């Protein structure tokens, strides 16, 4: 959650982690709660779902699903939003039914504090009960596809010449030489439906980003050190954000697995590994007010 508007039908909005860990209440102290909150069912059947945080004490959501609220409120220990496969026990309606939420805290709060209030809202109004446990889940290992280690045509060692991302509209931190186009480091502006463009990233960073495309954890087992530039074009296999139908295939684009092999010279191998999952014990549709 950030203090602005997030269009959650946007792929990148769902993929960016805030880096904030959970902030539970101290033992014996009451859980933080919004001062006022209103929840109403949204019957528009519109897949455009939106969260707006106009100020540090306000939270609103339009046509939001319970699943997305839980994915954000109960984040992974690393601080990122939990991925689909990391939450189990969902009733079907939590992925399809939309709700309009308007809530206000008694005083400005941090992102972690607002997230804790969202947890309380889910407990009080949706009767949500959850617990975490460790389960063995299917994962992928990112490995070299060829024994000789040859890269594919769209993967190369990075020169390191890139501009650190300073935010949208920010003035470049380094002067650009005449005739030079200084690219932005990392994935800034380079991830979208069916494409990944990266500059000066490690294989571990790429593996983490790839996990959002294949709905499994991806571990870097390539043994490749240093940083790389890459372009990956593929037909998205994941559903639309917030429970929508699968994306329409992109003309002539291969699956992400074929693209990784043919374009990058890498491969995704099936494995299993222990991981923390959030288990939904119970959840109800809310009483409107």
- Model pLDDT for residues 21-47, shown as the tens digit of each residue: 344 455 556 889 999 999 999 998 887
DSSP codes joined into one string, 90-147: --GGGGT-EEEEEEE-SS---HHHHHHHHHHHHHHHH--EEEEEEEEEEEEEEEESST
Pairing between β-strand 129-144 and β-strand 217-220 as defined by DSSP bridges: parallel
DSSP codes joined into one string, 172-204: PSSPPPTT---PBSBTTT-EETTEEEEEEE-HH
> Has residue 177 got a pLDDT over 60?
no
Cα-based angle 120, 78, 62 (whole degrees, multiple of 5): 45
| List of residues 6+ apart from 181 with CB closer than 8 A | none
pLDDT band at 135 (very low <50, low <70, confident <90, very high): very high
- Model pLDDT for residues 86-121, shown as the tens digit of each residue: 999 999 999 999 999 999 999 998 888 999 999 999
pLDDT at 250 (0 to 100): 53
- Model pLDDT for residues 137-169, shown as the tens digit of each residue: 999 999 999 999 999 999 999 988 887 865 544
pLDDT at 189 (0 to 100): 56
pTM: 0.70
> Has residue 246 got a pLDDT over 90?
no
pLDDT band at 204 (very low <50, low <70, confident <90, very high): very high
Q: Please report, for residues 53, 61, 106, 117, 199, the alpha-carbon distance to residue 4 in angstroms, rounded to integers and kept in the order given.
A: 5, 12, 19, 18, 27
- Model pLDDT for residues 40-67, shown as the tens digit of each residue: 999 988 878 888 888 889 999 999 999 9
pLDDT at 40 (0 to 100): 95
pLDDT at 166 (0 to 100): 56
| 26 backbone dihedrals φ, ψ, rounded to 5° | -65, 150
C-alpha to C-alpha distance for 17 and 83, rounded to whole angstroms:
11
């Amino acid at each position: 959650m950030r203090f602005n508007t997030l269009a959650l039908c946007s792929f990148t909005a769902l993929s960016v982690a805030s880096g904030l860990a959970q902030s539970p209440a101290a033992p014996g102290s009451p859980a933080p709660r919004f001062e006022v909150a209103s929840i109403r069912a949204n019957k528009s059947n519109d897949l455009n779902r939106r969260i707006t945080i106009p100020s540090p004490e306000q939270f609103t959501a339009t046509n939001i699903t319970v699943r997305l609220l839980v994915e954000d409120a109960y984040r992974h220990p690393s601080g990122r939003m939990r991925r689909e496969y990391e939450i189990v026990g969902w009733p079907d309606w939590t992925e399809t039914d939309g709700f309009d939420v308007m809530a206000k805290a008694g005083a400005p709060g941090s992102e972690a504090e607002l997230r804790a209030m969202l947890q309380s809202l889910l407990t009080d109004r949706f009767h949500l009960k959850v617990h975490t446990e460790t389960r063995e889940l299917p994962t992928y290992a990112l490995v070299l596809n060829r024994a000789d280690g040859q890269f594919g045509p769209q993967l190369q060692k990075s020169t390191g010449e890139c501009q650190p991302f300073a935010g949208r509209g920010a003035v470049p931190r380094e002067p650009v030489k005449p005739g030079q186009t200084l690219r932005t480091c990392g994935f800034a502006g380079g991830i979208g439906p069916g494409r990944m463009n990266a500059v000066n990233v490690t294989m571990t960073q790429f593996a983490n980003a790839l996990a959002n495309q294949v709905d499994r954890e991806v571990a870097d087992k390539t043994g490749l050190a240093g940083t790389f530039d890459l372009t990956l074009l593929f037909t998205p296999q994941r559903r639309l954000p917030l429970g929508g139908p699968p994306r329409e295939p992109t003309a002539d684009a291969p699956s992400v697995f074929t693209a990784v092999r043919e374009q990058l010279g890498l491969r995704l191998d099936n494995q299993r590994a222990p991981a923390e999952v959030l288990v939904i014990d119970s959840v109800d549709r809310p009483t409107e007010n």
